[in-house]
A and B are shown apart, each in its own frame.
Chain A
């Protein structure tokens, strides 16, 4: 594998990072809405949010990408592959993050909500100033764990025809007939992105465990 092939992989890596960032940020914003709906106390809203989460957690990410990809084309939206894929990952991430954050919001002791209500704080202030700051701390290890899943998940965009790291690997592998070397390097690049995050997540989890003991 020469320098040119390696640079091609790095160009793919750039798209993997971009896609992960879009999915994480977009999914984060939408996921917060899902989490708030899921814990709102309004039964129909909670049920819709639960259904949304169940739909995405009960089907393969690959199918979700296919349905969004072809679904958008069907509505007449002529979008670039990467826009469709970015929307797919945003929806996927919003369901998973919504579920993680629901758990964290519920993990904040009830007394906190009751005390905030007793102080006659309204919903926005109760969430913004009392519950969410504590919930975010609790959710950090799992959120980072999901970020690792998301980075790995972006490899599936390759099957839809999006040229990120995994697909760049397939292309190079077909050119130079050294699949083991190429996929070894591709795997190493993913590992270099994900492992530090995993270690950080595990460290946060340990710290959180000692803090709440």
Chain B
């Protein structure tokens, strides 16, 4: 092995790589907000009582969860212009991430809502709590507690999935890394360093989510 590692291109590219981390987090955040909107809407539609709508939501969830994100993002990338919508790669990527995450969010939120027993709501009403009190104290917080871990790990997964958006040249860490790599040919050094960037990002997110959970969502000890 007579290859010498050279991290100079990585060091030179550090400012643009760090800026691209924000691009990655932006994609993930935008995608997650859209995913939660789709998730809540999907659960409401699924339980709407209209059978056709219910099946449509189920079909959406199954379709998205059983096809690769790469194929989805290509499909959306090529389908939007046909629908007369011309978007840059980055908004397109957010839409694709939102649709992908949305299918998972529907399942997660539905599980959280189901975890609240009917008897608990009835008990709350029987105790003379107001309807909004029942919702706030008996439904919302326990449901949030139940879905929080899955929803936050879904968010971290979504952050890692953003790297696939480089396939349509959205602005994020991987596509910037690819540009530096094609300028310098230092493939291993660039991708190795960028892998560490992702590791730090997901570790930080995990810590932050964990702190929020223990601060606001843990059961009061007593």
Interface residues of A (CB under 8 A from B): 54-55, 57-64, 66-67, 70-71, 73-76, 148, 152-156, 158-159, 166, 169-170, 173, 179-180, 183-184, 186-187, 190-191, 194-195, 198
A155 in contact with B188 (CB, 8 Å): no
Number of A-B contacts (CB under 8 A): 118
User: In the docked arrangement, what's the CA distance between A29 and B159, Å?
Assistant: 29
With A158-B70, A159-B167 as contacts: A198 and B160 at CB distance below 8 Å: no
Q: Quick one: which of B66-111 are within 8 Å of A by CB?
A: 66-72, 74-75, 78-79, 82
User: In the docked arrangement, what's the CA distance between A192 and B195, Å?
Assistant: 32
User: In the docked arrangement, what's the CA distance between A26 and B149, Å?
Assistant: 30
Complex contacts, B75 vs chain A, CB 8 Å: 179-180, 183-184, 187
B152 located at the interface, meaning its Cβ lies under 8 Å from any Cβ of chain A in the complex: no
With A64-B195, A66-B191 as contacts: A198 and B163 at CB distance below 8 Å: no
A195 in contact with B62 (CB, 8 Å): yes
B191 in contact with A155 (CB, 8 Å): no
A179 in contact with B195 (CB, 8 Å): no
Q: Which of B66, B187, B194 is close to A195, meaning CB atoms less than 8 Å apart?
A: B66
Interface residues of B (CB under 8 A from A): 1, 3, 62-63, 65-72, 74-75, 78-79, 82, 156, 160-164, 166-167, 174, 187-188, 191-192, 194-195, 198-199, 202-203, 206
Considering the complex of A and B, which 7 residue pairs feature the smallest CB-CB distances, nearest first? Answer: A155-B68, A179-B78, A194-B66, A60-B163, A70-B187, A152-B68, A66-B191
Secondary structure of the A contact surface, majority rule: helix
Q: How far, in Å, is A88 (CB) from chain B's closest CB? A: 12
User: In the docked arrangement, what's the CA distance between A62 and B198, Å?
Assistant: 11
Q: Among B68, B82, B203, find the residue whose CB has the most chain A CB atoms closer than 10 A.
A: B68
Q: Which of B3, B70, B162, B203 is close to A76, meaning CB atoms less than 8 Å apart?
A: B3
A and B contact pairs by CB, cutoff 8 A, 7 listed = A58-B202, A64-B195, A152-B67, A155-B68, A180-B75, A187-B67, A190-B66
